Structure 1
Amino acid sequence: MLLARPSRSDLLTAAAYWPVATAVILPTYVQEFGWGLALAGMTYTVLLDSAAVFAIVFGLVPNLLVPRYRLRALLLLLAFLVASGVSYAVGYGLILHQTVHWGLMPLVGSIIRHAFSYGMLAVLLTGKRYFDVQQRLVLAQKAHAESELRNLRAQVDPHFLFNNLNVLRGLIQYDPVVADEYLTHFAALYRYLLRHKDDDFVSLADELGFADEYVYLLRHRFGAAYGFRQQLPAHAGLSRLLVVPGTVQLLLENAIKHNVGNEDDPLIITIEATETSLTVRHPRRPKLTPVDSTGTGLANLRERYQLLAGQTIAVDDTGPEFKVTVPVLAATSG
């Protein structure tokens, strides 16, 4: 058998219920039986109804919800109803000096009258228990989501760092001046990543500025083999629109990783933004040799948008173009 333990708030809820119920019930008792019997009857009501409610909410209901205990709980429920009816009839009969009539119908009547007596408190405590369970579930889901987000943020592609360090190494050997400029952009890019590593969202304006730094690095790695365009609406208020940090960098890296570009016929990668979405698209030119990829990039991005915004990203790879669209959120005021 399962027995749920009442919490402190459960006890406080019951304690708060009875002064209100007493104010409603006691005047009727006083009018019918006088103060002495009324106070005795009210005391018995508090004790009997509280015992009945706690037996139902913290004993019977938890067992009725578990299949392997359900039959036993149903038998106990039957025993509880009989005991409830007898206690109600005998207790009030003795306190209020009333004759107790025995038989099936009087017992059923006592069970029904007692159910009306404790029903409100039972509904109140059952509803509270349900709310508490839902609240704990929400907190558990939130903790799980935060844990998943921490893991997703930690999944940094090591190739991104190594590739840029290799470019920087070559520039230092052949053109120290350009190497210094390259290092400045590289440092700015990593400052952005570090500054926003724990942020859920950044403004689209900041993200596109970060993308400009990243494109500078890509041009040094690949020359004119890849071209980059932006199609942004006028007066879009990009500083008031939000995306997940690193979204554009990941989509650009993904495009270059899987597609061929050359200086005679550059692969044009287009970044489009509206007030509701951000799209990165390019022609499909798959590389002939297999790409060393874990496939976690887009999956990571999809999970982060699902966890943070409750929305998903759209990947369209069926036509001549490969296109990824992510949701853009409006920043709330204040």
Structure 2
Amino acid sequence: MLLTRPSRSDVLTAAAYWPVAAAVILPTYVAQFGWARAGAGMLYTVLLDSAAVFALVFGLLPNLLTPRYRGRALGLVVVFLLASGLLYGGGYALVLNTPLHWSPMALVKNIIRHAFSYGMLAVLLTGKRYFDVQQRLTLLQKVQAESELRNLRAQLDPHFLFNNLNVLRGLIRQDPAEAEEYLTHFAALYRFLIRHKDDDFVSLAEELRFADEYVYLLRHRFGAAYAFRQPLLPPGGLARQLVVPGTLQLLLENAIKHNAGDEDDPLVVTIEATAGTLTVRHPRRPKLTPVDSTGTGLANLRERYQLLTGQAIRVESTGSEFVVTVPVLAALTPAAAC
């Protein structure tokens, strides 16, 4: 059988309930039985109702909600109801010095009367327990989401490092001076990733500066085979709009990885930013040799946006064009945050 231990706050809630309840119940007892018997009756009410509620909320209900113990708990419900009726009828007759009449109908009435007596406290503690469980679930979901985000970030960084070290190795052999310049830009990019590795969001302005550096590396690797176009962005406000860090790096890399470029007819990759979205679009030109890909990068990006914003990224793939649109969030101003 399951026995849920009441927390300190549960006990304090019950303790806070009784002064309010006594202010309502005690005058009725005094009017009928006088102060001496009324005091004894009130004390018995507190003890009997508290015991019934704690047995119900922390004993019977958890077992009734657990399939493994439900059958046994149903039997205990019968015992609980019988004990409730007997203690209510017999106890008050003894404490208040009133006549005691036993019959099956009287027992049923006592069970019902006692349920009305402890019902308010039972509802209060049951509601509190539900609220506590919801809080724990919310905290658990938050911890789980943070853990998932850490895992997703860990998968992105090695992918970025591996690809660029391969490029750098080739440049060192061909042109050491160019390799040094490439390394300078690569180091700046990796500083960005390290600086924001624990950040959920960066400003759109920072993300676009990161993209400019990344495009520099791509141009030095592929020459004019790929062209990058960035239409005139809306003036101002970029620092107050937020995206997940590394979004553009992943989308640009994805475009290069899966599509063939040609210096005579370059693949044009367009970056478009609005007040509410950031979009990367390009024509579909699948490479002749299929790329070995698990699809992890785009899937990770999708999960990060879902976890952090509750919004989905939009992927549109037609026969001629591939478009990915991610949500852009508005940063809270100090006044709004207050």
Q: Which residue of 2 is the match for residue 247 of structure 1?
A: 247
Structure 1 residue 289 and structure 2 residue 289: aligned? yes
Q: C-alpha distance in 1, partners of 2:100/2:176?
A: 105
Q: Is the 8 A contact 2:283 2:322 kept in 1?
A: yes
Secondary structure of the residue that 1:35 maps to in structure 2? Answer: helix
Q: One-letter code of the match for 1:314?
A: R
Q: One-letter code of the match for 1:45?
A: T
Q: Which residue of 2 is the match for residue 207 of structure 1?
A: 207
Q: Is the 8 A contact 2:234 2:274 kept in 1?
A: no
Secondary structure of the residue that 1:280 maps to in structure 2? Answer: strand
Q: Which residue of 2 is the match for residue 33 of structure 1?
A: 33
Q: C-alpha distance in 2, partners of 1:285/1:174?
A: 29
Q: Which residue of 2 is the match for residue 77 of structure 1?
A: 77
Q: Is the 8 A contact 1:280 1:323 kept in 2?
A: yes
Q: C-alpha distance in 1, partners of 2:16/2:96?
A: 26
* Pairs within 5 Å for 1:148-163: 148-156=148-156, 158=158, 160-163=160-163
Structure 1 residue 134 and structure 2 residue 117: aligned? no
> Alpha carbons of 1:107 and 1:299: their partners in 2 closer, same or farther (altered >3 Å)?
same
> Alpha carbons of 1:298 and 1:32: their partners in 2 closer, same or farther (altered >3 Å)?
same
Q: Which residue of 2 is the match for residue 191 of structure 1?
A: 191
> Alpha carbons of 1:305 and 1:159: their partners in 2 closer, same or farther (altered >3 Å)?
closer
Q: C-alpha distance in 2, partners of 1:145/1:28?
A: 54
After alignment, is 157-166 or 131-140 more displaced?
157-166
Q: Is the 8 A contact 2:316 2:324 kept in 1?
A: yes
Q: One-letter code of the match for 1:34?
A: G
Secondary structure of the residue that 2:230 maps to in structure 1? Answer: strand
Q: C-alpha distance in 1, partners of 2:154/2:70?
A: 46
Runs of 4+ in 1 over 4 A off after TM superposition: 169-177
* Pairs within 5 Å for 1:1-334: 1-156=1-156, 158=158, 160-172=160-172, 175-235=175-235, 237-334=237-334
- Partner deviation per Cα, 1:186-206 (whole Å, 9 max, x = no partner): 121111111001100001111
- Partner deviation per Cα, 1:150-177 (whole Å, 9 max, x = no partner): 1100013645434433444454555554
> Alpha carbons of 1:129 and 1:232: their partners in 2 closer, same or farther (altered >3 Å)?
farther
Q: C-alpha distance in 2, partners of 1:6/1:107?
A: 30
- How far is 1:14 from its partner? 1.0
After alignment, is 91-100 or 173-182 more displaced?
173-182
- How far is 1:240 from its partner? 0.8
Secondary structure of the residue that 2:322 maps to in structure 1? Answer: strand
> Alpha carbons of 1:232 and 1:125: their partners in 2 closer, same or farther (altered >3 Å)?
farther
Q: C-alpha distance in 2, partners of 1:83/1:170?
A: 85
Q: C-alpha distance in 1, partners of 2:158/2:83?
A: 70
Q: C-alpha distance in 2, partners of 1:319/1:272?
A: 21
Q: C-alpha distance in 2, partners of 1:273/1:196?
A: 21
Q: C-alpha distance in 2, partners of 1:173/1:221?
A: 13
Q: C-alpha distance in 1, partners of 2:201/2:165?
A: 28
Unaligned ranges ≥5, structure 1: none
After alignment, is 234-243 or 221-230 more displaced?
234-243
Q: Is the 8 A contact 2:196 2:245 kept in 1?
A: yes
Q: C-alpha distance in 2, partners of 1:258/1:141?
A: 35
Q: Is the 8 A contact 2:156 2:297 kept in 1?
A: no
Secondary structure of the residue that 2:318 maps to in structure 1? Answer: coil
Q: One-letter code of the match for 1:120?
A: M
Q: TM-score, length-normalised on structure 1?
A: 0.95
Q: C-alpha distance in 1, partners of 2:41/2:15?
A: 18
Q: Is the 8 A contact 1:242 1:331 kept in 2?
A: yes
- Partner deviation per Cα, 1:37-73 (whole Å, 9 max, x = no partner): 1110011001000110011101111111122322222
Q: Is the 8 A contact 1:236 1:274 kept in 2?
A: no
Unaligned ranges ≥5, structure 2: none
User: Could you say what the CA RMSD is over the residues aligned between the two structures, in angstroms?
Assistant: 1.6
Secondary structure of the residue that 1:136 maps to in structure 2? Answer: helix
Q: C-alpha distance in 2, partners of 1:171/1:289?
A: 24
> Alpha carbons of 1:101 and 1:232: their partners in 2 closer, same or farther (altered >3 Å)?
farther
> Alpha carbons of 1:157 and 1:331: their partners in 2 closer, same or farther (altered >3 Å)?
closer
Q: C-alpha distance in 2, partners of 1:274/1:25?
A: 65
